[in-house]
A and B are shown apart, each in its own frame.
Chain A
Amino acid sequence: MTSTDSKTTGAAAAAPILQIKDLNVTLRKEQELIPILHHVNLTVHAGEIVGLVGESGSGKSMTASAVTQLLPGGSKSLQGSINFCGEELTTKSEKEMAHYRGKEIAMIFQEPMTCLNPVFTVGQQLEDVICTHQHLQGGEAHARAIAMLENVHIKEPEKMLKAYPYELSGGMRQRAMIAIALSCSPKLLIADEPTTALDVTIQAQILGLVKEAADKAGAGVIFISHDLGVIAQVCDSIAVMYSGEIVEAGTAVEVLTTPRHPYTKALLAAIPGFTPKGAERLELCAIPGMVPDPREHMDGCRFAPRCSVCGENCTAKHPPLHVAGDGRSVCCWKEAEAGDTAITAS
């Protein structure tokens, strides 16, 4: 499954920044092997924002962690390929990866309240990242830090540099976090639910900053969210994840307007509509059941137990992956049975 090139002109035509091919990740926890990602494919071009969407536990954050090799503790095994600007990341050592992190690949996280170190000022943390990667002296690093804070529209950057995280609101912290992430002009920005913990009004501002990073600085962005509304606002293309697999991918417009996988359809149906009190309410569609435990082995489609259109095939055999000519990909038996034009891959 490849997320389609949303921009057929310009940067997108060039080689992708990130290309994940057939990535399988297994964690080992106390002698137990837990497969958490299955055959993940994802491509990100410069200036493109790729949305990764799915419920909690679907493997969105794990995919991001795999790219930066920051998977949670214990031993782990990675199969497949993560190609970043022509370099294979899966074979890099911890020391080599530290060179990419922060400089080439930056991350912003969900919890701005806990993501900054409480006992250091924003300035100390921001300047440390700048000094680590850019080998600047104190004064230059300070100037760069101020420029970065101005970039994320902070009115009094000097004051912000001297502030401790506890003195700032959630939105301000997230801005500081974004300033840190963008401080070394990364080629790839991974935003892991950056707006989930914020107010709606602040959300829009933060989304604006992420968009700016892609548009102005030309960074590729992986935008992780469970909120399709947010995804719809910023993303050029979308990959829908379920239980460690990408079940559907394509351009944002296509996936959101003509969803083809039952899970995507269900997700879209589960978005609460705006109905004022007293008006006739539309029924809210919840998806029954829960994401299966990654330890659970399934012969068929992993979504089958919760699927409303589940057939015989679905529980017996894993559905094949269909990649259409335009790069749209769906992993579902219904697609396979109906689609004459679809090309069956792997």
Chain B
Amino acid sequence: MFSFHYIRNQIIHLLLVLIGVSIITFALSHVIPGDPARMMVGDKASAATLARARVELGLDRPLTEQYYKYVTGLMHGDMGISIRSQQPVSSELKKFFPATLELTLSAMILAVIFGIILGVVAAVHRNKWPDHLCRIVSLIGVSTPLFWSGVVALIIFYKWIPIFPASGRLDTFMTPPPQVTGMYILDGLFAGQMDVVLSAIHHLILPAVCLAYVQLAIIARQVRSSMIDVLEEDYIRTARSCGIPTRRILYHYALKNALLPTVTIAGLTLADLLSGAIITETIFAWPGMGKYVVEAITFLDFPAIMGFTMIVSCVYVFINFIVDMLYRFLDPQIREVDK
């Protein structure tokens, strides 16, 4: 299904994109106003102290040298020292990023699964009540800002009907599982600690659902419209004339065709989910990247900003790589092009 040719080209593309990203993040950190050395030593420091700080940060070196140092560091997992906390950026990212990733990926899975189901149901019962219901659900989804729906969800499911916790990733007295991925659900499963897994899921549901909702609505609309097109196709009539059961026609024959445009949308939603995650984290006191990044930005902590951008870009590039592979899985004609 995936030829050597294709895999090789993909890896070359991936590397090129990542080099591009590293250049952009590096350049960005140098064109933003403000002097990191000044931020480090404070307003009242003398010119000599400032100069020493500049040397310490390597800011006195030529840009090419700074970039070279940055990239070689990246390859060794070194993202520099945070100006603000004086801790290695990589260890801070390791602490905060998995929480954000867990939230984002869960939201994405929820959005994709339920978006597809909702879209198919709406398309099959076109212009009947399930379709209208889906339309209302979607409209509310795309027109409700996250900071509002998050707060409403908290009021309903924490204050009025207290079935979900309002903050954190685990119950108060629970120790996190040994870190493998940093995502508690997975790590809990690896360690066989089912109580941790359940607690992690319990804490995850409310923020993940809120975060997923908007994207779910977008995916549902997309699936609905492409399903409606596909159901009109001749090959669906053929399948019906062959007596294939309706459920199989819908979820096997039609959906695979309808998913192609949906996969594109789903890939793009990841960017929205990552930025949405930062808002969601604030509302649900989720100990993820959100707070860390906002503080890094206000403090002009450029190694931290660069590290964050780099990681997010890697995730994004990786998801796009998966999307690309999914195209090949779904559409044999795209596969043909690789040969």
Residues in A lying within 8 Å of B, measured CB to CB: 68, 70, 94, 98-103, 106-107, 109, 111, 114-121, 128-129, 132-133, 164, 166, 177, 180-181
- Assembled-state Cα–Cα distance A115/B302 (Å): 58
Closest residue of chain A to B241, judged by CB? A107
Closest residue of chain A to B332, judged by CB? A164
Report the minimum CB–CB distance from A25 to chain B (whole Å): 17
Q: Let me know if B225 is at the binding interface, CB within 8 A.
A: no
- Assembled-state Cα–Cα distance A102/B256 (Å): 22
Report the minimum CB–CB distance from A184 to chain B (whole Å): 8
Q: Let me know if B239 is at the binding interface, CB within 8 A.
A: yes
Residues of A close to B246: CB separation below 8 A: 94, 98
Per the 8 Å Cβ criterion, residues 239-253 of B in contact with A are 239-246, 248, 253
Q: Let me know if B233 is at the binding interface, CB within 8 A.
A: yes
Task: Describe B's contact surface by its main secondary structure.
Answer: helix
Report the minimum CB–CB distance from B108 to chain A (whole Å): 24
B253 touches A166 (CB 8 A): no
- Assembled-state Cα–Cα distance A102/B330 (Å): 26
Q: List 19 A-B contacts (CB under 8 A).
A: A68-B241, A94-B246, A98-B246, A101-B240, A101-B243, A107-B238, A115-B237, A116-B235, A117-B238, A117-B239, A118-B332, A120-B256, A121-B332, A129-B244, A132-B243, A132-B245, A132-B248, A164-B333, A166-B332
Q: How many residues of B contact A (CB 8 A)?
A: 22
Report the minimum CB–CB distance from A105 to chain B (whole Å): 8
Contact A119:B331 (CB < 8 A) given known A109-B237, A109-B238, A111-B234: yes
Residues in B lying within 8 Å of A, measured CB to CB: 233-235, 237-246, 248, 253, 256-257, 330-333, 336
A100 touches B243 (CB 8 A): yes
Closest residue of chain A to B333, judged by CB? A166
Closest residue of chain B to A107, judged by CB? B241
Residues of B close to A106: CB separation below 8 A: 241-242
Residues of B close to A100: CB separation below 8 A: 243
- Assembled-state Cα–Cα distance A116/B240 (Å): 12
Report the minimum CB–CB distance from B228 to chain A (whole Å): 11
Report the minimum CB–CB distance from A198 to chain B (whole Å): 15
Residues of A close to B257: CB separation below 8 A: 117-119
